[in-house]
Amino acid sequence: MTKNIIAVKIESYLMPLIGELLTAGTLKVQCEKIGTTVDKLNAMDLQNLAPRLEQALVIFLGGDRARKVSRQILTMSF
Amino acid sequence: MKKSKLLWIMGLVIIVINLYVYIFKPGGDVVLKYFSDILPVICSFITVLGLSAALKSFKVFDQAKLSWFLLLIGIVLFFLGETIYGVLELVFKVDVANVFPTYADWIGWIPGYIPMIIGLWLLVNGYKKSGFSFGNPRTYVLASIFFILLAVAIITTILIPIAHDSETSTIAKYVYFYYPIFDIFIIVPAVILAYITNLFGKAKISLPWRYIALGFICMTIADILYSYLQWSSQYGSGNYTDLAWHAGYLFIALGGLYQKELIDSV
């Protein structure tokens, strides 16, 4: 598990929802896609990361609730 | 109490009563016939309610909602099929064991497959777009081999004997072929969904799909057995194959309720 505080917040939010394995895997892959790593994730990156996670969750939760998750992730920089 | 928990209790009661009636036959063949015709109507209606609850919880009409909508349409048609079958046998006294296909097939079950297959494949396709892991490719190779073997087994044990049967009408042959072939189109996405949900572990996002997949797997097994039993005149009221259908319906209903609870929890 990462020690980056933002990543820890995202992980603890997503873990009950999508499980430990896929949280770690998805976060790693999506961070790579936006040109960073889980350990270097910062508040600015969330603007790019949140919509990607939203897109991933749409099929499970529908667009409305996936957007809610995305908005929640955006607040994790504070 | 959560509705899903209530359905678990109700479902277990239904299955236990179902088993009791099929094993001990209290009231003889008449009770068995009524029970065998009415229970699928009740179970499929519960599924309609479960999927409707899931559908209502989606606010935006996107691919996720479309998938669930198509599953609901398919189950509504199956419910119609079960109802028509029961009415034909219990009200109009049609000898449904020897008449095939019936209006239940034409109006309910045959058209019901199409939206369900599209709905299941849309879920798999939506998952593909999500970017989540599809798991180990080797598992898909092994699963493909299994499905090829399954298809060969179905063709040789069910379809070829039916094709060569001179007593079966051409139209009946087409319908006998239709069910196992379309069952394969259903079981493939259902097994993919079951495997995918396995990757999620105990995460709550996986529960709805897990039960949807389990339900369709149960129903497909029952369908394949039914095709063979019906053709060989071994199917009748009180056949244990019914249990797999009932369990299948109830699992799909549970999937619907878990989906609603998942969305409400976010």
Q: Is the CB of B198 inside 8 Å of chain A's CB atoms?
A: no
**CB hemisphere CA count around A25 (13 angstroms):** 14
Closest CA to A57 of B211, B198, B253, B262: B262
CA distance A53 to chain B (A): 8
Structure tokens of B172? 């009946």
pLDDT at B30: 92
Cα separation, B169 vs A15, in Å, equals 56
Q: Are A33 and B220 in contact (CB under 8 A)?
A: no
In chain A, where are the structural domains located? 5-77
The model's pTM is 0.92
Contact across the interface for B266 and A60, Cβ inside 8 Å: no
Section A44-71 average pLDDT = 92
pLDDT at A62: 93
What is the per-residue pLDDT across B107-141, written as a single tens digit (0 to 9) for each?
Answer: 999 999 999 999 999 999 999 888 888 888 999 99
Section B166-171 average pLDDT = 90
Percentage of residues of chain B with pLDDT beyond 70: 100
pLDDT at A3: 75
Contact across the interface for A59 and B60, Cβ inside 8 Å: no
Q: Is the CB of A30 inside 8 Å of chain B's CB atoms?
A: yes
When the pLDDT of each residue in chain B is averaged and rounded to a whole number, the result is 92
B198 pLDDT band (50/70/90 cuts)?
confident
pLDDT at A1: 56
- Contact residues, chain B, for A56 at CB < 8 Å: 130-132
List the 18-47 stretch of B: residues with Cβ below 8 A of A: none
Instruction: Kindly state the DSSP code that residue B168 receives in the 8-state scheme.
Output: S
- Chains A, B: CB contacts within 8 A come to 87
Buried (b) or exposed (e) across B60-69, using 16+ Cβ within 10 A?
Answer: eebbbbbbbb
List the 109-128 stretch of B: residues with Cβ below 8 A of A: 123, 126-127
Contact across the interface for B64 and A22, Cβ inside 8 Å: no
Cα separation, B111 vs B120, in Å, equals 15
What is the per-residue pLDDT across B8-28, written as a single tens digit (0 to 9) for each?
Answer: 999 999 999 999 999 999 989
Q: Does ipTM exceed 0.90?
A: no
- Whether residue B97 has pLDDT greater than 80: no
Q: Are B81 and B98 in contact (CB under 8 A)?
A: no
Q: Are A43 and A53 in contact (CB under 8 A)?
A: no
What is the per-residue pLDDT across A21-38, written as a single tens digit (0 to 9) for each?
Answer: 888 888 888 899 999 999
Q: Is the CB of B91 inside 8 Å of chain A's CB atoms?
A: no
What is the per-residue pLDDT across B45-60, written as a single tens digit (0 to 9) for each?
Answer: 999 999 999 999 999 9
